[in-house]
Amino acid sequence: MKQIEEENIQSQAISFLRFPLIVAVVLIHSVGKPPLREVAFSWSVDGPMLWHHLFRYVVVDLLCRCAVPGFFILSGYLFFYRTNQWNKQAYIGKLKKRIRTLLIPYLLWNLLGAAYIFYKGKLGGIGDFLRCFYDYYPGKGVNLWPADIPLWYVRDLMLMALCTPLIHILIRRLRHWYLLILFVCFIIPDVPEIKGMCYSSLFFFSLGAYFSINGQNLFLGICRYRYAVFTATTSLLLLVLYFKFGRGTNVTWIYDAYIALSTFLVLIIAYWLVKRGTAKPTTWLCQRVFFIFAFHNLRFVGNAFNQKADYISALAEGNPLVATSSFLLCAAGKIILALLVYELLRRAMPRLLELLDGRKQPESSPSIPAS
């Protein structure tokens, strides 16, 4: 009876997390100008705008960066969830399901992105068109981006799905040593990576898969180490702040380790909020998470909102309150527009919405964290 109750709490916690995590993703893509890496964080240089830059830094770099790792952990866990026997039949069955939930939406959304690139006269030929579905835009390191930039996550998720037989073997044979190796590769700079796929994707997906393959409740498994996670996250946060503001630099491995630990902390907090009855998932919002994710940063959507927000900030002539408000309203506007377009498609073109969303209407949660 207790196990059934814990499974129910876990299910609710996963559903509850989806919308806050997608809000965090939208905030990351609404950060505005100047880029945080170019900000001096000095009163003599930034003046009153220092408060605005500090707010952006705390929200985007310290709070929201756990969003994509969180989605990868949930995806890895749910890929193997309740798979009693892992064999060729189970593997093929899961891949077939992801043709509808991942591949078709991925192709359609990137086709929209490619159409916009063509409209802007920047599509050079068939080579550029094909690259729209994998690596059209240069990203950070080897993590290149498709035409609909946020869908690099879906691309990596599909690659993870293809690699699940190998991931399953490595987890079974190496157990936690496999995760430790990936974690070290994730936090150490300049470790060679595969073009278009990074260690962070593999590590967080494998972490979720580890709990599922070993038949463990994801949240209970992480909550066992809650005190260690809280202590380590706090310590790493202090180190990040010390090097950022005391030394004027970023130590990559400390920051990456902080992101990993803060992701675990977010999962722990979500579990306890749901267990205490403080938080409950909203089905209406959960059903729209993937659409918000795919829609909000299409170039003709993201650029329009981001440019308006930057324009308002420039007109404010260094008013931090106006600049911060425009940053938050930019993110809110993207989400609201996505919800309006979703509702329009649901009423006028439900079949198209099913293809874009990767699920039949009006079934439960979209595929982004459930794959």
| DSSP state letters, 169-183 | HHHHHHTHHHHHHHH
**pLDDT (tens digit per residue) in 277-313:** 998 888 899 999 999 999 999 999 998 898 888 888 7
Residue for token pair 């090097």: 243
Q: Which residues pair with 145 in a beta bridge?
A: 137
Across 331-352, average pLDDT: 96
Q: What is the pLDDT of residue 368?
A: 45
> Is 203 within 8 Å of 186 (Cβ atoms)?
yes
Three-state helix/strand/coil letters over 276-338: CCCCCCCHHHHCCHHHHHHHCCCHHHHHHHHHHHHHHHHHCCCCHHHHHHHHHHHHHHHHHHH
Q: Which of 36-50, 214-228, 333-347 has the lowest mean pLDDT?
A: 36-50
Across 92-104, average pLDDT: 95
- pLDDT of 115 > 50? The answer is yes
Cα gap 274→280, rounded to integer Å: 6
Q: How many CB atoms lie within 10 A of CB 223?
A: 17
| CA 349 to chain CA mean position, Å | 28
> Is 287 within 8 Å of 364 (Cβ atoms)?
yes
User: What's the chain's Rg over C-alpha atoms?
Assistant: 21
Q: What is the pLDDT of residue 1?
A: 62
- pLDDT of 135 > 60? The answer is yes
Question: Count of residues for the chain?
Answer: 371
Structure tokens at 150: 């946020």
Across 79-97, average pLDDT: 93
Q: What is the pLDDT of residue 45?
A: 66
Residues 6+ away with beta carbon under 8 Å from 168:
80, 86, 209, 213
**pLDDT (tens digit per residue) in 197-254:** 788 999 999 999 999 999 999 999 999 999 999 999 999 999 999 998 887 778 899 9
Across 248-269, average pLDDT: 93
> Is 369 within 8 Å of 21 (Cβ atoms)?
yes
Q: What is the pLDDT of residue 142?
A: 53
> Is 294 within 8 Å of 151 (Cβ atoms)?
yes
Q: String of b and e for 352-370 (b: at least 16 CB within 10 Å)?
A: ebbebbbbeeeeebbbbbb
Cα gap 119→56, rounded to integer Å: 33
Structure tokens at 332: 């809110």
| CA 97 to chain CA mean position, Å | 21
Cα gap 94→83, rounded to integer Å: 10
Across 268-273, average pLDDT: 96
